[in-house]
Amino acid sequence: MIFRRLNTLFTSIRWRKPFILILLAVREILRPIFYWYAWHIFETDISQDLLKPYSKEDVEVKVYTPQDYTLIIQKQISAMGELEPAEIGRRFARKDLIAIAVVREQPVGYMWMAISQGLELAYDTYWTVRSHEAVKYGSFVIPALRGRAINSCLNSAVNSYLRNIGIIRSLSSISILNPQSMSLPKHYKRPIAMTVFVAHIRGLNWNIRKSFRAPLESRFTWPKKREIIRPF
Ligand SMILES: CC(C)(COP(=O)(O)OP(=O)(O)OC[C@H]1O[C@@H](n2cnc3c(N)ncnc32)[C@H](O)[C@@H]1OP(=O)(O)O)[C@@H](O)C(=O)NCCC(=O)NCCS
């Protein structure tokens, strides 16, 4: 557990620019009273031509549905070092699917897909997933094989799988503080559909939400209660 956290911390430092590192540090210092996230939201029409992967590795991608969920799959996923078994179980229980990338018969990364309601962005802010839509989330590639565009193979395989089951639009959120993830939409020159800011004030138990480029309620829902809500 400690090793995982140290590893994540080291990787975050290695691939982020000084300005982003300062922002992340300030966010951590303020965590006991105030925490925030900012994402770019992307929407891709996958009924059209699918984007080609650009990895030079020989990558095979297999998709597993909740019906395929076994202890072996759970062990394969958690052995990659990011997710605890309980979290994997929660995702399958929500009926999410996973695409696992395999290189030389070794699982090396994955991408999750949510095709029903219930996926939380953060702080009680939930994706609106309409029929024929799916959210791609939680991409991960093992540190030893990062930088070889394996994520692009996962992305293409996931889009292709989704199209085959009748999905026409894939959605995703990428933290503006995560240049490793932003590489994929930059490579394909994907336009940003919306930028979302979500913050939580601890003592007051308030959530603040704000969107740019498009109205927040066009893509997200949240409980209408004692909160500061600032839609577009
Ligand atoms: C985000 C992630 C899935 C990308 O996977 P990937 O297969 O390494 O993707 P790419 O090979 O296209 O590399 C993406 C970026 O990672 C960085 N990178 C390059 N070499 C790297 C290496 N050896 N180690 C780590 N990051 C590297 C670069 O910024 C690269 O972008 P560039 O090619 O435009 O310069 C992977 O970095 C990861 O698992 N990160 C931790 C989990 C995470 O942040 N997930 C995103 C949740 S939305």
Q: What is the pLDDT of residues 170-207, one digit of tens each?
A: 999 999 999 899 999 999 999 999 999 999 999 898 99
Nearest alpha-carbon partner for 144 in 7, 32, 3: 7
Minimal-distance CA residue to ligand 1 atom 21: 147
Is 151 in contact with 57 (CB distance < 8 Å)? no
Which pLDDT value is given to residue 173?
A: 98
pLDDT tens readout for residues 33-92: 999 999 999 999 999 878 899 999 999 999 999 999 999 999 999 999 999 999 999 999
Instruction: List pLDDT tens digits, range 84-120.
Output: 999 999 999 999 999 999 999 999 999 999 999 999 9
Which regions of 54-202 does DSSP assign to beta strands (E)? Answer: 59-64, 97-103, 106-114, 120-122, 125-127, 133-141, 169-175, 194-201
Fill in the amino acid letter for 119: L
Spatial CA neighbour of 117 closest among 101, 105, 102, 131: 131
Confidence of residue 228 (pLDDT cuts 50, 70, 90): low
Tokens representing residue 46 in the block? 């996958």
Instruction: Using the mean position of ligand 1's atoms as its centre, give its distance from the Cα of residue 224 in Å.
Output: 37
For ligand 1, whether the C-beta of 80 sits within 6 Å is no
For the segment 151-176, the average pLDDT, to the nearest whole number, is 97
Is residue 18 pLDDT above 90, yes or no? no
Rounded to whole angstroms, how far apart are CA atoms 174 and 152?
Answer: 14
Report domain extents, the chain: 2-230
Take residue 62 and report the two structure tokens written for it.
């297999």
Which ligand 1 atom sits closest to the C-alpha of 137?
48
Distances (CA, A) of 230 to 76, 97, 100, 118, 210: 42, 33, 38, 22, 5
Sign of dihedral through CA atoms 54, 159, 82, 207?
A: positive
What is the CATH architecture of 2-230?
3-Layer(aba) Sandwich (3.40)
Q: Which among 109, 157, 163, 156 is positioned nearest to 134, based on CA atoms?
A: 163
* Whether the CB of 36 sits within 6 Å of ligand 1: no
**And the tokens for 122?**
């953060």
Let me know: does 124 contact 207? Beta carbons within 8 Å: yes
Instruction: Give the residue, out of 112, 135, 183, with the most ligand 1 atoms within 8 A of its beta carbon, to mutate for a pocket test.
Output: 183
Task: Report the half-sphere exposure of 162 (CA within 13 A, side-chain side).
Answer: 33
What is the Cα 62 distance to its own chain's centre? 18
* pLDDT for position 5: 67
Closest to 98 (Cα-Cα) out of 142, 56, 67: 67
Say what the pLDDT of residue 170 is. 97
